[in-house]
Amino acid sequence: MAGRPVALITGGSRGVGASIARALAPEYDLLLGGRESTALQQICTELGARPWPVELTDERAVAEAAAGVERLDVLVHSAGVARLGTVAELPVSAWREMFEVNVTAVAGLTRRLLPALRAARGHVVMINSGSGQRAAAGWGAYAASKFALRALADALRLEEEGEGLRVTTVYPGRIDTDMQRSVREQEDGEYEPGKYLRPESVARAVLAALRAGEEAHLTEITVRPAAGPLT
């Protein structure tokens, strides 16, 4: 529909990103980022969204894709990776991968889209993690990347407030997604879906930030499972 605000969601083909896309679809025209796949095509067809299959770690591809976006009201960073292991065990390659995907790619895409976001006095939402607030044994590299993402959001908020840009960080607890299943496998633990947040609950938190009054700026939202975090 012409004239509607535009939102770009990375990691939009599944999990939290897909739930955020479904929550925003009634109000926004959507660009959904993700690897070229059947899943991405299916959700774009379901929601009437446009696929945005860009490899976020490819700086040239990001620059070319972002050049076609002239105005952007909302940018949601939902793509991410998690590799677990102690400092003694985890190879440097895993550290590099997590910082490249969870931090550097976020900074690079945001940088390219800032002109479009400024034109709309837009809103950037970064899906962080409870690990961005507290580190745990075996989670050092992932937590470090999420602490860095928190710093990126804080700096961006201060730098762009004069342009009317809002920046919200969402810190969910463990979520019932494929990533959580992978994490539990890495921990050699049993997957217990009743103990996790539903992706739709995180999507509602994002929607709350976007719907806050014109004078309001929700800078941080923490969402935890009602039963409490796993130990």
Give the pLDDT confidence of 5-18 residue by residue, as tens digits. 999 999 999 999 99
> Does position 228 have pLDDT exceeding 60, yes or no?
no
> Does position 230 have pLDDT exceeding 90, yes or no?
no
Q: What is the CATH number of the domain that holds 87?
A: 3.40.50.720
Q: In whole numbers, what is the pLDDT of the chain averaged over residues? A: 91
Residue 10 in domain: yes
Give the pLDDT confidence of 35-58 residue by residue, as tens digits. 888 999 999 999 999 999 999 999
Residue labelled with tokens 């992706």: 199
Residues acting as catalytic residues: 142
What secondary structure letter does DSSP report for 163? G
> Does position 129 have pLDDT exceeding 70, yes or no?
yes
> Is the pLDDT higher at 193 or at 115?
115
Residue 72 in domain: yes
What secondary structure letter does DSSP report for 33? E
> Is the pLDDT higher at 3 or at 84?
84
> Does position 175 have pLDDT exceeding 90, yes or no?
no
Confidence of residue 2 (pLDDT cuts 50, 70, 90): low
Range(s) of the domain holding residue 184: 6-223
Total tally of structural domains belonging to the chain: 1
Give the pLDDT confidence of 81-100 residue by residue, as tens digits. 999 999 999 999 999 999 99
0.85 exceeded by pTM: yes
Q: Which residues contact 141 (CB under 8 A, 6 or more apart)?
A: 83, 85, 87, 90, 94, 95, 98
Residue 228 in domain: no
pLDDT of 1 reads 39
Residue 16 in domain: yes
Residue 21's closest CA among 53, 47, 51? 47
pLDDT of 189 reads 62
Average pLDDT over residues 124-147: 96
Residue 174 in domain: yes
Per-residue burial over 88-112, b if 16 or more Cβ lie within 10 Å, else e, is eebeeebbebbbebbbbbbebbbeb
Residue 90 in domain: yes
Residue 40 in domain: yes
Give the span between the Cα atoms of 32 and 76, in whole angstroms.
10
